[in-house]
Chain A
């Protein structure tokens, strides 16, 4: 821990002790997240310190995601009970269009430019960033792949490779391997020719491809030597290395980042408390504590300065990692995920 971080922590604690107004003491805000180890980490670095500083109590809930749960909660009108909810990228646009979420007043959070690209949405504030990309076992493959071209190069890297049975990373990766620049991948994929091109590229490694469906599968496939490389979520690789002593490597180049977002449910009477919560966890020095606990990226542009330099290379929001990764186009996938999933399934099943 750096001296600067210690200083900030001390001053934050002092400020909190002095400013915690008695009027806020009975206030509370209900925060809903994914539970498990992730919410334990959030409690440690976000919820408890926020309570201490502001005197606003955090009522925790957990949920499994799904826009239907929020629709049902708001259907009756009145107080939705939940205030701040963490949602997946797929739900942020839908919920915003349907008016389930309050539009975010970005001026209260330092403006949309305070966060990394993709984290600022009309109705959501980026909560975490996680990447799906190629990984391999350094012990089995000292000279590993460095990008998508290598994933499709069965001459240099013979053996099976695994992809998630989902069109996003599979098709974007195929296009990147075929020479499409990262920033143009979605635009190319949106054209019929680009779609054909992606499937044609997949066709070149059809016989060496297997597909995984559950996030726990790829580390196991690597560990057992079943595949020479696989796509995987960066957090799974980090956990395998830290907890099981593996020597897996994650290839950041061409990895695809996705955000989870914090939203404020429409019609909550505790909107001020909700903003107090979002403002607190939006501070770079507060966000910077999360990656120590769990290998997710955070969204504030300045947070990377406060993250432990030893830890930084494993964090998706590290500037070096951001520079070489791509983010999903939410609009495009909302419109095309179902059709492209059917096509990928149909192609893979032939």
Chain B
């Protein structure tokens, strides 16, 4: 084989080969370019942009440039000296005149309970004051207007917000904060996000496990069952995918409620005398999420199973393996790439659920996406939304690396 090829190479000028390869490569790149551009602008860039909000912190600096600059370059002493107070007073007056005090108020309020009214009221009081109180500086004047200006905590929050980047939102998303004495945990009643993040991964893991248990036999049937029945089953698997997510979730509300079909059937069968609580708790959420996720597990698994040659299991059986051993040692290992791909798909999709937990889950079943949506659409605190997204992406990436290590190169493939 190799000898004729070598002789052909010897005849053909090598320059042309490179030219043709190059053109081919260029053509391939040209074909891929629109997709790559689309992915970059419609997918990668917005994600990076949103994640950027989690670390960018320039709201305060944009409206209070003087005091922000002083705090960035200033010493460790907090509350600071008169020069910084004078800068603050100038910024307060300036922002009141340009009607941007609300921006500073909003940013300070994130870190400091009562920060909003502290800023708006002081700014209003200073509006037409050019000079501090007689006999004192701006420091005394501001502290006389509101004693909060004399507290270390206020200034720690101000310095942290002086920009252009800060860990404030990321710390908040991890239930941490920079208090008067350094890094500390948030007060117990405000701790929420670590629990939510843990809950998100726990729900995703449960859903993935349940989808594997339920989906594996279905995929096996699709791949190996009687063709007529298998194609009907295939339609049944695909049908939910053509229905809106909202409709499927709403249907589960109807099915699972106290007077719903499921409870009606359970009571008619005498299995229970009172309705079983299936809605607004983890049970209902898991049921609905598993149902929605099943096709994403079944389809890749089915695709892998159709490529497995049935002779291999027959060969194992003929060599003396019991059915269980033949399945476990010969069949199952061959399904692993599809199983791993499906499980990973279901797990990652489950991390992002938002509508389903909101409608079917209880107060203790809301996942990270719920809070990201809360901050983007209700309070416009994009910093917190970005920080929670960073936390979710980072945790997922770490998990993925572990998974890749465990599953080996075969497990990495997604299709």
On A, residues with C-beta under 8 Å from B are 66-68, 94, 97-99, 165, 199, 209-211, 213-214, 217, 220, 224-226, 331, 334-339, 341-343, 345-350
Contact = CB atoms under 8 A, between A and B. Distances in A.
Interface in B273-327: 279-280
A12 B2 CA distance: 100
Contacts of A347: 189
A335 B190 contact: no
A236 B284 CA distance: 26
Contacts of A68: 380
Given A214-B358, A226-B279, A165 B380 contact: no
Interface in B352-396: 358-359, 362-364, 366, 371, 374, 377, 379-381
B99 A350 contact: no
A97 B279 contact: no
B359 A217 contact: yes
Q: Is the interface of A mostly helix, strand, loop or mixed?
A: helix
A343 B362 contact: no
23 contacts: A67-B380, A68-B380, A97-B120, A99-B99, A165-B363, A211-B363, A214-B358, A224-B257, A224-B260, A226-B257, A334-B116, A335-B109, A338-B379, A338-B381, A343-B189, A345-B192, A345-B371, A346-B195, A349-B195, A349-B196, A349-B199, A349-B363, A349-B364
B17 interface: no
Q: Is the interface of B mostly helix, strand, loop or mixed?
A: helix
Nearest to A331: B117
Contacts of B192: 342, 345-346, 349
Contacts of A213: 358-359
A350 B364 contact: yes
B363 A345 contact: yes
B259 interface: yes
A250 B356 CA distance: 28
A220 B258 CA distance: 12
Given A225-B258, A335-B114, A338-B381, A348 B363 contact: yes
A335 B279 contact: no
A209 B280 CA distance: 10
A302 B21 CA distance: 84
B113 interface: yes
A214 B359 contact: yes
Given A98-B102, A225-B259, A338-B381, A346 B358 contact: no
Contacts of A338: 109-110, 379, 381
Interface in B221-278: 253, 257-260
A202 B117 CA distance: 28
Given A99-B99, A345-B363, A339 B120 contact: no
Of the listed residues A98, A342, A347, A350, the one surrounded by the most CB atoms of chain B closer than 10 A to its CB is A342
Contacts of B374: 341
B191 interface: yes
B334 interface: no
Contact of B102 (A94, A210, A349): A94
A162 B115 CA distance: 32
Name the 8 nearest CB pairs between A and B, nearest first: A348-B363, A99-B99, A346-B192, A97-B102, A349-B364, A335-B116, A210-B280, A211-B363
Contacts of A67: 380
Of the listed residues A210, A225, A338, the one surrounded by the most CB atoms of chain B closer than 10 A to its CB is A338
A346 B192 CA distance: 5
Interface residues of B, number: 40
A226 B109 CA distance: 39
A132 B279 CA distance: 24
A348 B189 CA distance: 11
Given A98-B99, A213-B358, A226 B363 contact: no
B271 to A, nearest CB: 20
Interface string B72-112: 00000000000000000000000000011111010001100
A345 B379 CA distance: 15
A67 B109 CA distance: 18
A345 B102 contact: no
B379 A97 contact: no
Given A97-B101, A97-B120, A349-B199, 5 more contacts: A67-B380, A165-B363, A226-B279, A331-B117, A349-B366
Nearest to A336: B113
A55 to B, nearest CB: 35
A209 B281 CA distance: 12
A335 B364 contact: no
B236 to A, nearest CB: 27
Contacts of B381: 338
A350 B103 CA distance: 34
A347 B381 CA distance: 21
A138 to B, nearest CB: 18
Nearest to A339: B113
A189 to B, nearest CB: 13
Contact of A226 (B110, B258, B380): B258
Contact of B190 (A199, A224, A342): A342
A220 B360 CA distance: 13
A220 B99 CA distance: 45
A95 to B, nearest CB: 9
Interface in B123-149: none
Nearest to A224: B257
A349 B357 CA distance: 13
Nearest to B357: A213
Given A67-B380, A211-B363, A346 B116 contact: no
